[in-house]
Every structure is written in C-alpha cells, then in structure tokens.
Amino acid sequence: MKTIIGLGNPGKEYDNTRHNAGRMAVEHFAQKNDLSEFKFDKKSNALVSKGEKILAVLPETFMNKSGFSAAKLVKTKKENKDLIIVHDDLDLPLGKIKISYGKNSGGHKGVESIMRALKTKNFVRIRVGVISGKSKPADILKFIVGKFKPAEEKEFKKVLKKTAEALAVIIDHSPERAQSLFN
C-alpha cells in the first residue's frame, strides 16, 4: 500500500494558494484515479481517501505539524519506503516538478515535521514548483499563502496533471522510472 500525503493548510482561506500545491495535487490524483471520497480520520487528524493499493492523505493540521498525521499512518520502515510526500517548492519554477528520495527537507517546514515524526528522510518526495518569474518575492510568506494569479492558474493545472502522471508511474513501476520521465 502506497501512502501519498499532500501537504498544505486546512481551511477555506488557504484553498488555491501556492502553499497548498501538494494538497491540490493529491486531491487531483485521487479524483482522476477514482479513489474513494475523502473522509475525516480522527486518529490521524487527516482527510483520507482509499484505493486498491493507495491511501491518499490530506493532513488537517497546519503545514508545520504535518508529521502528526504521517506518524499515525506510517509506522514501519517498510511503510516509509512506500510513502510519497507531495509539496510546494519555492526553488522550482511554476510548471516543474522534481522527484527525489532520501533527501533533506530543503527548509520546507512540512517536510521537516514529517522527518522528525518518522525519524527518517527515506521516503519519496514530489516537489511542485510554485515560483513564477526569475526571483523570489521580497515577502515570501505573503507570496506563498497567496492565491495563484489567473495567468498562473493555467500553468498550475498542467502541473497537476503532470504530478498525477508521476504518481501513477511511481505506484505502478518505481520512483526511479518516474524520475527518469519527469525530472
């Protein structure tokens, strides 16, 4: 069973924000692959959707507390290897994704929370680029919790499709194959 966690913040005020790119990507994947409707799981404090060999998870904690949900759902080293985290990344341009395994958090607070909770960095990550333009904005926090501009939404919809395709390759084949196709 593969566990896919889409990082983001709960609540309507965070819908369609850059910081919720991972959450939106996992929602899109679940919808495109006919997984069950997301239902609240009290134990993990997360919305959970199930498929034949997939558990899609949207923590209902804020980003920097995502490890709580992960620790309740992923309990063994074997399960760590079947864990995929999808999250936003300010170091990648909008429209790009990057798949990695066993890497450091890169300063992402949600990923750091999961690494601390699971006591490992040995899981797959799909980083979803959210930066448009050549440089990072002066006010990173305001930018990251801001909504996509209309011109950016079209590009982001393409990356949702690309991320869903990458997840399917990871699940059906391997992370290495997905890296060779999508990185």
**Candidate list 19, 28, 87, 108, residue with the active-site label:** 19
Rounded to an integer, the average pLDDT of 55-72 is: 96
Query: Tell me, what amino acid is at 75?
Result: K
pLDDT at 137: 76
What is the C-alpha end-to-end distance of the chain, expressed in Å? 24
Q: Is 173 among the residues known to form the active site?
A: no
Cα 69 to Cα 6, 15, 49, 90, 155, distances in angstroms: 11, 20, 14, 24, 30
For the stretch 3-46, pLDDT in tens is 999 999 999 999 999 999 999 999 999 999 999 999 999 999 99
DSSP string for residues in 96-147: -EEEEES---TT-HHHHHHHHHHT---SEEEEEEEE-SSS--S-HHHHHTSB
pLDDT at 134: 66
For the stretch 132-179, pLDDT in tens is 876 677 788 888 889 998 889 999 999 999 999 999 999 999 999 999
Rounded to an integer, the average pLDDT of 43-70 is: 96
Q: Is the pLDDT of residue 93 over 70?
A: yes
Assign 51 to helix, strand or coil.
coil
Tokens of 146: 């801001």
pTM assigned to the model: 0.95
The answer to whether the CB of 77 falls within 8 A of the CB of 117 is no
Domains with residue ranges and CATH for the chain? 2-182 (3.40.50.1470)
